[in-house]
């Protein structure tokens, strides 16, 4: 593997930082890790989650978003993240995450329609900021979502983004839908 290039970038969330890497971290899709037990078979993610103050690691293609609890300076923390990427990425298996994705349930037909709308309208902006949204459930016109990556603890995700998701889904899917964050 050639020299690994890493470009770091602020996100709208002051507790999340995005790292764009010259190599893929995951073959396809996205995955978020919130606990050490979720990543024990993935040395790269394990090392990141073991860092003091890190609360979440989100992977999407060649983008890594690290979320922290706010107790560390990003200058120091980002240097450590880049060092871990340099150390672990040469032996990182981008396929191992497929096994984690297989364990997650498929979306119902109703959620798939909603996910397609979000893919087209909302998700590109969220992913551009180092985040994403997961559809959890829909029942009685109430859609439950979970923010991932930089969106997870971002103040604007809880208000502006939530209103945008609700408005788009009311226009394009169900005028009575409510969206709640779980």
Strand-pair partners of 182: none
pLDDT of residue 31: 87
pLDDT tens track for 65-111:
999 999 999 999 999 999 999 999 999 988 876 655 555 567 888 99
Same fold, 6-100 and 109-181: no
109-181 homologous superfamily: Fe-S cluster assembly (FSCA) (3.30.300.130)
Phi, psi of 179 (to 5 degrees): -120, 130
**Is 136 strand, coil or helix?**
strand
Residues in the chain: 182
Bridging pattern class, strands 178-181 and 142-149: parallel
Residue ranges per domain, the chain? 6-100, 109-181
Q: pTM of the prediction? A: 0.81
In CATH, the architecture of 6-100 is 2-Layer Sandwich (3.30)
pLDDT in tens, 123-175: 988 988 888 999 999 999 999 999 988 888 888 888 889 999 999 999 999 99
């Amino acid at each position: 593997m050639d020299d690994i290039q890493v470009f770091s970038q602020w996100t709208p969330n002051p507790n999340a930082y995005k790292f764009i890497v010259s190599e893929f971290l995951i073959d396809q899709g996205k995955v978020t890790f919130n606990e050490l037990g979720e990543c024990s078979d993935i040395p790269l993610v394990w090392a990141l989650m073991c860092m003091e103050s890190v609360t979440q690691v989100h992977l999407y293609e060649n983008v890594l978003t690290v979320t922290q609890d706010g107790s560390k300076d990003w200058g120091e923390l980002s240097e450590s993240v880049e060092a871990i990427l340099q150390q672990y990425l040469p032996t990182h298996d981008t396929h191992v995450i497929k096994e984690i994705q297989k364990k997650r349930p498929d979306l119902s037909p109703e959620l798939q329609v909603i996910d397609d709308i979000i893919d087209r309208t909302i998700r590109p902006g969220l992913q551009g900021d180092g985040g994403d949204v997961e559809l959890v459930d829909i029942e009685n016109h109430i859609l439950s979502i979970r923010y991932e990556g930089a969106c997870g603890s971002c103040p604007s995700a809880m208000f502006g983004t939530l209103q945008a998701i609700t408005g788009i889904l009311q226009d394009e899917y169900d005028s009575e839908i409510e969206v709640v964050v779980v």
